[in-house]
A and B are shown apart, each in its own frame.
Chain A
Amino acid sequence: MNSIPESKTLPTTEVISSKSHWWDLRLNEIWQYRDLLFLFVRRDFVSVYKQTLLGPLWFLIQPVMATLVFSIIFGKVAALPTDGRPMVVFYLVGITAWTYFADCLNKTSKTFTENAHIFGKVYFPRLIMPLSIVISCLIKFAIQFILMLAVLVFYVYREANIDLNAMILLTPLLIIIMAGLGLGFGILISSLTTRYRDLQFLIQFGVQMLMYAAPVVYPLSMVPEKYRWAILANPMTSVIETFKIGYLGVGTMEFSHLAYSFVFMLVILLVGIIVFHKVERNFVDTI
């Protein structure tokens, strides 16, 4: 026994048993595997730009197309109000923010089904996978966000009726809420789909519905007082409205609504992580 492998810490003893406590979330393990987290992010990004000719440019096509379609359908045909702001910026701001949340949710909701092979062959904290997705989506969001800023600057230069203001300082908080909501819902759905496969088909549809229940294609001010609570119950509503206040200077926003979204995010994230941990223990058996 000449050289016992160097270990930075004393030998750790671990007990693997049939039972686990719901509060034992092993979040410290994620820190140990942080390198892996960032390598996954890198992999996602690199594989996108290696596979496609235009690479990350594709990230821009999506919001541009969506803005055009929304301007025609909701702006021109349905003639929904945009709180007096130019249609293009009004939709673009909403779409940019919404896309980040929807991407996080859609992609993390496939964590178990899409990684069944790798999860079946090696152990690492499973939460690393959805976390890496949220960070990968953040890169995409950053690119789309820059596009949004560029368009805003263009409109400001043209002296359009736009009113950037101090509320934009809330942007980091808004990003955290969106990421948390997307991740929380995503891993919850991912956990449930390992047992009830049919759920998978509901997600796309559900996210779409959720978008119409948030002020993305219309301003909150348009919703009659009587029904406004229903739209405000959607935790994304205050996030989108705050975005619009910061970058466009229009919207209906109260800090209590934002606080509601924040608490909602914490709860759904906690529930998501607990269920995710319960499912990850045996999911490879049934996939």
Chain B
Amino acid sequence: MSAVIKVQNIWKQYRLGQVGTGTIADDITRWLANVRGKEDPFINLGDTNEQNKTGNSRYVWALNNINFEVKQGEIIGIIGKNGAGKSTLLKLLSKITSPTKGEITITGRLASLLEVGTGFHPDLTGRENTFLNGAILGMTKKEVKTKFDEIVAFSGIERYIDSPVKRYSSGMYVRLAFAVAAHLEPEILIIDEVLAVGDAEFQKKCLGKLQDVANEGRTVIFVSHNLAAIKTLCSRCIVLTNGHISYEGDVDISVVNYLKADGFGGLKEYKVFDGQSSISIPECDLLSVGVKAKEKHFGDPIRMDEEVELVIKYKKKIRNCTLDVTIQVKDSSGNYLFVCSSARSTIESNMGRIGVYEYTLEIDSNFFNPDTFYINLLVVKDKKTTCLRQEDVIFFHILDKERVLGEWMGKSAAPLFLNFPWRADSKN
């Protein structure tokens, strides 16, 4: 299948600070360079876009050298932290602003939805705004007319359709606005974060509609911070980090990359301790600690519906004592969730002998809800003295599984789910 969107070497530069001061000077410099046939003198200025660092240029590259293709019928998710350049990319695709360098080729009718209800006028009625908004999004009057009843039904606000929208509750406003957008029939649909608004029921409706759109063979590019929605809908993902594509491809791996890009300074899912980083106490040398999904490799994404294995390896250096490992598991806010120790289990194999031991803890699938977890590691001698305590030795992400469409997409209130047995007895 052919590519309907081709993005080639796209760069986008923004100017920081208050515009209006110094622009005349810049304009003259630029114009002089232009007259003498030179390149724009400001084009090579500018830092990559890292908000937390103070660059010394007034220009910043919001996108650097973006290249990708989208084939017909694909649903592409774009993820990245705040300020990564997602909206900027969508603005370029929808012709709202143009690239500083590079070229985008689009085949087919494209509609973009960067906001719901753009152009709604508070004094006009729902009906009037439906036509206006439809036309703004690129529909003809005739198209809106034929779909009007459907739009009103989808929005569920029949009673208010002839009242001015300033009398609407904010929820009703969003419903009507999305209903109009949902009935667009472009070949390519571009959506930015609009699912963040509205209640759970509304979000469900929107996602359902998106799936329908995709099933009809349309192409969708979709930005969201709702990773559950991304995982459910998208066939492929692009991860943006500071204006460049840091990963493109598989959705699970993308999500992990995105979460990692969120800055977990130096922490890893798997650590080998040797050379400089070696952790050595008189009793033992810690060799490695890691978390992975069962039957997968270290570093692969871990989904909530996979069994999780925690593997600890050490070299015991003294005889005639026992060494047990204990882990403390914390959630992303640092709250302790549980403790688990090998001392309570029945392993007796290392009684007395020296050598290399590997401990594996098996954790049921669906025990962790999607979140980030941190692990403290303790080594306990003879079940009473802690001889090693290592804080935040590793961390890992648990990813969402794909959900059935229409299922709840929100984030779970608690980080863990315990599958204790229930019993139901009939008592009459």
Contacts and interface: CB of A to CB of B under 8 A. Distances in A.
A16 B118 CA distance: 23
Contacts of A285: 14-15, 97
A158 interface: no
Interface in B166-201: 185-187
Given A13-B106, A46-B128, A285-B15, A5 B185 contact: yes
Nearest to A117: B118
Contact of A12 (B104, B108, B128, B137): B108
Ranked 4 nearest A-B pairs via Cβ: A1-B217, A36-B135, A16-B104, A35-B141
B114 A121 contact: yes
Contacts of B118: 117-118, 121-122
A286 interface: yes
27 contacts: A1-B73, A2-B215, A2-B216, A4-B216, A4-B218, A5-B218, A6-B185, A11-B108, A12-B109, A13-B105, A13-B106, A14-B106, A15-B104, A16-B103, A16-B105, A17-B103, A18-B98, A46-B128, A47-B123, A50-B124, A121-B96, A122-B96, A122-B114, A123-B96, A284-B91, A285-B14, A285-B15
B107 A12 contact: yes
Contacts of A256: none
Q: On chain A, which size bracket covers the interface?
A: 35 or more
Interface in A1-33: 1-7, 11-18, 20, 33
Given A13-B107, A35-B140, A197-B20, 8 more contacts: A3-B216, A18-B100, A18-B101, A18-B102, A33-B135, A118-B118, A118-B119, A121-B114
A113 to B, nearest CB: 12
B132 A15 contact: no
B131 interface: yes
Interface in B67-110: 73, 91-109
B390 to A, nearest CB: 49
B164 interface: yes
Interface in A65-112: none
A43 B97 CA distance: 26
B74 to A, nearest CB: 12
B109 A7 contact: yes
Given A3-B216, A13-B107, A122 B137 contact: yes
A18 B100 CA distance: 5
Given A33-B135, A122-B114, A122-B118, A17 B104 contact: yes
Nearest to B19: A286
Given A1-B73, A7-B109, A122 B98 contact: no
Interface in A121-154: 121-124
Nearest to A286: B19
A123 to B, nearest CB: 4
B24 interface: yes
Interface of B: 14-15, 19-20, 23-24, 27, 73, 91-109, 112, 114-115, 118-119, 121, 123-124, 128, 131-132, 135-138, 140-141, 164, 185-187, 215-218
Contact of B186 (A5, A15, A284): A5
Contacts of A2: 215-217
Given A121-B118, A195-B27, A35 B135 contact: yes
A43 B132 contact: yes
Contacts of A3: 216-217
A65 B63 CA distance: 55
Nearest to A119: B96
A229 interface: no
- Which among A50, A123, A284, A286 has the greatest number of chain B C-beta atoms within 10 A? A123
A281 B97 contact: yes
Contacts of A50: 123-124, 164
A282 B97 contact: yes
A192 to B, nearest CB: 11
Nearest to B103: A17
A39 interface: yes
Contacts of B73: 1
Contacts of A13: 105-107
B217 A124 contact: no
A286 B15 contact: yes
Nearest to B188: A5
Given A16-B106, A35-B135, A43-B124, A123 B94 contact: yes
Contacts of A124: 136, 138
Interface in A34-57: 35-36, 39-40, 42-43, 46-47, 50-51
Given A2-B217, A281-B97, A7 B20 contact: no
A199 to B, nearest CB: 11
A227 interface: no
B131 A16 contact: no
Contact of B217 (A4, A15, A16): A4
A18 B102 CA distance: 6
Nearest to B119: A118
A6 B108 CA distance: 11
B379 to A, nearest CB: 57
Contacts of A12: 107-109
A163 to B, nearest CB: 45
A65 B340 CA distance: 87
Contacts of B187: 4-5, 7, 11
Contacts of A36: 132, 135-136
Nearest to A40: B132
- Which among A47, A122, A281, A286 has the greatest number of chain B C-beta atoms within 10 A? A122
Given A2-B217, A7-B187, A14-B105, A39 B132 contact: yes
